[in-house]
Amino acid sequence: MATSKRPYLLRAINEWILDNLMTPHILVDTVADDVVVPKQYIENGRIVLNISPNAVKDLVIGNDLLLCSARFGGKPCNISVPIRNVLAIYAKENGMGIVFPEEEAEPGPDPAINRLEKAPKLKLVK
């Protein structure tokens, strides 16, 4: 099964934003139980997080989780966001970035694999 494109696109767009001296922000769907963000900053089930190096420490955008530590109202907070809950990444300065569908379909099986499974089998005849 193919992996999701989302973490790869997040890393690439984040790098592009930083290379162009802009500020990366992510929009997060906070409805899931495994999203760890400061609850007092959630509005309508969403939160916008500045993930620039000036705003967070130890940012890791893995294939399954986005992790970092940040300060909110002067208080340290560990952030943990499943990649599937990141709805968008964009530059604060011009809004350029990418918006992901809220429910990304699971990648289906590779059609080539299905064809191979149905292909005739060869036998060695002596």
pLDDT tens for the chain, 126 residues long, are 678 899 999 999 999 999 999 999 999 999 988 999 999 999 999 999 999 999 999 999 999 999 999 999 899 999 999 999 999 999 999 999 999 986 554 444 444 444 444 555 565 666
**Torsion sign, CA atoms 38, 75, 91, 67:** negative
Residue 2 pLDDT:
77
Q: How far, in Å, CA of 4 to CA of 118, rounded? A: 26
Residue 3 pLDDT:
83
The matching CATH number, chosen from 2.60.40.10, 3.30.479.30, 2.30.30.220, 1.10.1520.10, for 6-118 is 2.30.30.220
* For the chain, domain boundaries: 6-118
Q: Who's near 109: CB < 8 A, 6+ residues apart?
A: 1
Helices H / strands E in the chain, number of each? 2, 7
Stated as kind and residue range, the H or E segment containing 30 is none
